Each structure stands twice: as C-alpha cells, then as structure tokens.
Amino acid sequence: MSDDPIRLPGEAPTAPAGIYEHWCEHPGCSKWGGWGYSINKHTQPHWYCWEHRDDGEALLSGFTRQ
C-alpha cells in the first residue's frame, strides 16, 4: 500500500496553498510562470515560464548595471 496522492487525469498542476497564481508575463504566452524575478525585496516579482525566463534575466540585468 502506498500513500501517493491521487492525481486526476487532465487536472493541471496546482500551486501550493497560499501561493498567488502567476503566469508567464511574456506577451502572448499563457504558460505557468515558474520562474520569478524580483528587482529587490520590495517590488513584486515578475514571473516567466521556462522558455521566457531570459526575459526575467534581462529585466534584472537592466537594473543591476546602474
């Protein structure tokens, strides 16, 4: 007997409870934004999917070069 959680077919992966649902911010992309980029601790992070995480890297590099 195993205690594996039941995963219903067709059900999307769910975020941990209490985590705000965030999707990739790349224009036209509707994937889950699993990669968060925050300029500093006081600003809201920007979220991007695996494919568009370079957008986040560019976002950060633009602010760290000052």
Closer residue to Zn ion (CB): 32 or 39: 32
Q: What is the 3-state secondary structure (H, E, C) of 27-56?
A: CCCCCECCEEECCCCCCCCEEECCCCHHHH
Can you read off the two tokens belonging to residue 7? 């995963």
Closer residue to Zn ion (CB): 24 or 37: 24
Instruction: Name the minimum Å distance from CB 34 to Zn ion.
Output: 10
Instruction: Name the minimum Å distance from CB 16 to Zn ion.
Output: 21
Closer residue to Zn ion (CB): 20 or 42: 20
